[in-house]
Amino acid sequence: MSTKLTARKRYLPRIIEGYKLFQELLSDSSIDKIEYFSTNELPGLKRAMNLYGASLRKGEVPDEISREAEQLTTSFEASFLRLTKAKDFRDDLKAVDTAFKAYLSFAKIDPSS
């Protein structure tokens, strides 16, 4: 139980802040801003998502819940990394947004909180 509380206090604010930064990127995107986010924000965000997802497990060992959270995190990261290689990244931003929202929905995170 204390692990879940610690994860909630430590990682949830990082995920919400990452989501807000990503939403800013959606509204005002350029390849420079995408590369900056990829280099400076994405690694910490990915780690927070993985650790928060691991805290969702029912017991002490990884289960289907934590594995799905990890898979959703990996999907978000892969979608985002494709942006840096895309010629027209604006369409791909929608796919990244969908992947991020899928993680938030699965983890029952309200980004407006």
Tens of pLDDT, residues 64-105: 999 999 999 999 999 998 887 777 777 789 899 999 999 999
Q: In the block, which residue shows the tokens 């796919």?
A: 95
Q: Residue 53 and residue 107: Cα distance in Å, rounded?
A: 7
Integer CA distances (angstroms), 109 to 31, 51, 68, in order: 28, 14, 15
The continuous run of DSSP H or E covering 83 comes out as: helix 64-83
Protein fold of 2-106: Four Helix Bundle (Hemerythrin (Met), subunit A) (1.20.120)
Residue 12 has pLDDT above 90, yes or no: yes
- The residue among 36, 17, 29, 22 whose CA lies nearest residue 76 is 22
Distance CA 110, CA 16 (A): 8
